[in-house]
Amino acid sequence: MISASLSPNTEPDDVWLAIQTLFSPWKWQNGEALLRVRQWFGGEITLFSSGRVSLFAILKSFEIGTGDEVIIQAFTCVAVPNSVLWSGATPVYVDIDDTCNIDPQNVEKKITNKTKAIIIQHTFGIPADLVELAKIAKKHGLLIIEDFAHSLGLHISGDAAFFSFGRDKVISSVWGGGAVINSKYQMANDKL
Protein backbone atom coordinates (compact mmCIF):
# COMPACT_ATOMS: atom_id res chain seq x y z
CA MET A 1 0.00 0.00 0.00
CA ILE A 2 1.26 3.48 -0.82
CA SER A 3 0.03 6.27 1.41
CA ALA A 4 0.10 9.92 0.48
CA SER A 5 1.00 12.51 3.11
CA LEU A 6 -0.34 10.65 6.14
CA SER A 7 2.95 8.99 7.02
CA PRO A 8 6.07 7.72 5.31
CA ASN A 9 5.80 4.51 3.32
CA THR A 10 7.65 2.64 6.02
CA GLU A 11 7.48 -1.04 6.83
CA PRO A 12 8.54 -2.53 10.20
CA ASP A 13 11.75 -3.96 8.70
CA ASP A 14 12.66 -0.45 7.48
CA VAL A 15 12.36 0.86 11.04
CA TRP A 16 14.49 -1.98 12.40
CA LEU A 17 17.19 -1.37 9.77
CA ALA A 18 17.19 2.37 10.54
CA ILE A 19 17.58 1.73 14.28
CA GLN A 20 20.44 -0.71 13.70
CA THR A 21 22.15 1.77 11.40
CA LEU A 22 21.76 4.74 13.74
CA PHE A 23 23.31 2.80 16.60
CA SER A 24 26.23 1.61 14.44
CA PRO A 25 27.83 4.91 13.35
CA TRP A 26 31.19 3.24 12.67
CA LYS A 27 29.49 1.51 9.72
CA TRP A 28 28.36 4.70 7.99
CA GLN A 29 30.53 7.61 9.13
CA ASN A 30 33.20 8.14 6.47
CA GLY A 31 32.70 4.58 5.31
CA GLU A 32 31.47 2.59 2.38
CA ALA A 33 27.85 3.70 2.81
CA LEU A 34 28.86 7.36 2.51
CA LEU A 35 30.78 6.62 -0.70
CA ARG A 36 27.77 4.75 -2.12
CA VAL A 37 25.48 7.70 -1.33
CA ARG A 38 27.88 10.12 -3.03
CA GLN A 39 28.09 7.86 -6.09
CA TRP A 40 24.33 7.45 -6.26
CA PHE A 41 23.66 11.19 -5.97
CA GLY A 42 26.50 12.02 -8.35
CA GLY A 43 28.60 14.00 -5.89
CA GLU A 44 28.29 15.81 -2.62
CA ILE A 45 24.69 16.30 -1.60
CA THR A 46 23.79 19.24 0.61
CA LEU A 47 20.75 18.62 2.79
CA PHE A 48 17.97 21.14 3.39
CA SER A 49 14.60 21.25 5.13
CA SER A 50 12.70 20.51 1.90
CA GLY A 51 12.98 20.09 -1.86
CA ARG A 52 11.73 23.64 -2.42
CA VAL A 53 14.48 25.06 -0.21
CA SER A 54 17.00 22.88 -2.08
CA LEU A 55 15.85 24.37 -5.40
CA PHE A 56 15.95 27.89 -3.97
CA ALA A 57 19.55 27.29 -2.79
CA ILE A 58 20.56 26.05 -6.25
CA LEU A 59 19.05 29.13 -7.92
CA LYS A 60 20.82 31.47 -5.47
CA SER A 61 24.10 29.55 -5.88
CA PHE A 62 23.99 30.26 -9.61
CA GLU A 63 23.02 33.89 -8.88
CA ILE A 64 19.65 33.56 -10.62
CA GLY A 65 17.39 36.34 -9.41
CA THR A 66 15.61 39.58 -10.26
CA GLY A 67 15.16 40.10 -13.98
CA ASP A 68 15.95 36.47 -14.86
CA GLU A 69 13.58 33.85 -16.21
CA VAL A 70 13.50 30.13 -15.44
CA ILE A 71 11.60 27.71 -17.66
CA ILE A 72 9.45 25.16 -15.83
CA GLN A 73 6.78 22.75 -16.95
CA ALA A 74 3.17 23.74 -16.33
CA PHE A 75 2.35 20.37 -14.72
CA THR A 76 4.38 20.65 -11.53
CA CYS A 77 4.12 21.11 -7.78
CA VAL A 78 3.61 24.65 -6.51
CA ALA A 79 6.98 24.31 -4.76
CA VAL A 80 8.83 24.75 -8.06
CA PRO A 81 7.40 28.12 -9.18
CA ASN A 82 7.43 29.34 -5.57
CA SER A 83 11.17 28.66 -5.29
CA VAL A 84 11.76 30.52 -8.56
CA LEU A 85 9.68 33.46 -7.31
CA TRP A 86 11.51 33.48 -3.94
CA SER A 87 14.79 33.84 -5.83
CA GLY A 88 13.42 36.96 -7.53
CA ALA A 89 13.26 35.32 -10.96
CA THR A 90 10.16 34.78 -13.09
CA PRO A 91 8.87 31.26 -13.81
CA VAL A 92 7.99 30.71 -17.48
CA TYR A 93 5.52 27.88 -17.94
CA VAL A 94 5.86 25.37 -20.78
CA ASP A 95 3.36 22.69 -21.79
CA ILE A 96 4.05 18.98 -21.29
CA ASP A 97 4.28 16.13 -23.77
CA ASP A 98 2.54 12.72 -23.72
CA THR A 99 4.88 11.49 -20.94
CA CYS A 100 3.77 14.34 -18.62
CA ASN A 101 7.26 15.83 -18.91
CA ILE A 102 8.33 19.19 -20.32
CA ASP A 103 7.95 19.37 -24.11
CA PRO A 104 11.29 20.29 -25.76
CA GLN A 105 9.58 21.90 -28.77
CA ASN A 106 7.66 24.23 -26.49
CA VAL A 107 10.80 25.05 -24.49
CA GLU A 108 12.54 26.48 -27.55
CA LYS A 109 9.59 28.83 -28.19
CA LYS A 110 9.73 30.30 -24.65
CA ILE A 111 13.45 31.14 -24.45
CA THR A 112 14.30 34.84 -24.27
CA ASN A 113 17.49 36.78 -23.55
CA LYS A 114 16.42 36.75 -19.87
CA THR A 115 16.22 32.94 -19.64
CA LYS A 116 18.92 31.49 -17.37
CA ALA A 117 17.82 27.91 -16.68
CA ILE A 118 15.44 25.08 -17.49
CA ILE A 119 14.07 23.01 -14.62
CA ILE A 120 13.49 19.51 -15.93
CA GLN A 121 11.08 17.42 -13.90
CA HIS A 122 11.10 13.63 -14.30
CA THR A 123 7.37 13.15 -13.72
CA PHE A 124 6.20 9.88 -12.13
CA GLY A 125 9.74 8.51 -12.50
CA ILE A 126 9.57 8.79 -16.29
CA PRO A 127 12.77 10.36 -17.65
CA ALA A 128 12.32 13.59 -19.58
CA ASP A 129 13.87 13.90 -23.06
CA LEU A 130 17.27 15.00 -21.76
CA VAL A 131 19.04 14.51 -25.08
CA GLU A 132 16.87 17.07 -26.85
CA LEU A 133 16.66 19.39 -23.84
CA ALA A 134 20.46 19.32 -23.42
CA LYS A 135 20.88 20.37 -27.07
CA ILE A 136 18.51 23.29 -26.52
CA ALA A 137 20.24 24.31 -23.28
CA LYS A 138 23.68 24.17 -24.90
CA LYS A 139 22.51 26.16 -27.94
CA HIS A 140 21.21 28.96 -25.70
CA GLY A 141 23.79 28.74 -22.88
CA LEU A 142 21.22 27.70 -20.26
CA LEU A 143 21.64 25.72 -17.06
CA ILE A 144 19.79 22.44 -16.64
CA ILE A 145 18.40 21.86 -13.15
CA GLU A 146 16.81 18.44 -12.71
CA ASP A 147 13.85 17.81 -10.40
CA PHE A 148 14.13 14.32 -8.90
CA ALA A 149 11.33 14.75 -6.33
CA HIS A 150 9.45 11.78 -7.79
CA SER A 151 12.26 9.85 -9.45
CA LEU A 152 14.89 7.39 -8.37
CA GLY A 153 17.44 5.44 -10.34
CA LEU A 154 18.06 8.13 -12.94
CA HIS A 155 21.51 9.61 -13.30
CA ILE A 156 22.06 13.33 -12.92
CA SER A 157 22.80 14.64 -16.39
CA GLY A 158 22.29 18.35 -15.87
CA ASP A 159 24.22 21.08 -14.10
CA ALA A 160 22.37 20.64 -10.82
CA ALA A 161 19.61 18.54 -9.28
CA PHE A 162 17.33 18.64 -6.30
CA PHE A 163 15.48 15.98 -4.34
CA SER A 164 12.58 15.97 -1.91
CA PHE A 165 12.37 13.57 1.01
CA GLY A 166 8.86 14.55 2.11
CA ARG A 167 6.46 11.99 3.48
CA ASP A 168 4.82 11.38 0.10
CA LYS A 169 8.07 11.04 -1.87
CA VAL A 170 10.02 8.02 -3.07
CA ILE A 171 12.67 8.47 -0.36
CA SER A 172 10.76 9.55 2.72
CA SER A 173 12.22 11.00 5.87
CA VAL A 174 8.96 12.89 6.60
CA TRP A 175 10.67 16.14 5.55
CA GLY A 176 13.87 17.19 3.98
CA GLY A 177 15.49 17.74 0.64
CA GLY A 178 18.84 17.72 -1.03
CA ALA A 179 20.77 19.58 -3.70
CA VAL A 180 23.64 18.48 -5.91
CA ILE A 181 25.61 20.81 -8.17
CA ASN A 182 27.91 19.44 -10.86
CA SER A 183 31.51 19.60 -9.64
CA LYS A 184 32.53 21.71 -12.66
CA TYR A 185 30.74 24.65 -11.00
CA GLN A 186 33.06 25.05 -8.02
CA MET A 187 31.96 28.62 -7.21
CA ALA A 188 28.28 27.63 -7.17
CA ASN A 189 29.12 24.57 -5.05
CA ASP A 190 30.94 26.80 -2.57
CA LYS A 191 27.80 28.95 -2.21
CA LEU A 192 25.57 25.95 -1.64
Q: How confident is the model at residue 178 (pLDDT cuts 50, 70, 90)?
A: confident
Residue 171, pLDDT > 90, answer no
pLDDT tens column, 87-112: 999 999 999 999 999 999 999 999 99
Domains of the chain: 9-41 (no CATH), 44-191 (3.40.640.10)
Average the pLDDT over 104-122 and give the result.
96
Higher-pLDDT residue of 7, 61: 61
Average the pLDDT over 167-179 and give the result.
72
Higher-pLDDT residue of 14, 142: 142
Q: How confident is the model at residue 15 (pLDDT cuts 50, 70, 90)?
A: confident
How far apart are the C-alpha atoms of 150 and 13, rounded to whole Å?
23
Residue 29, pLDDT > 50, answer yes
Residue 158, pLDDT > 50, answer yes
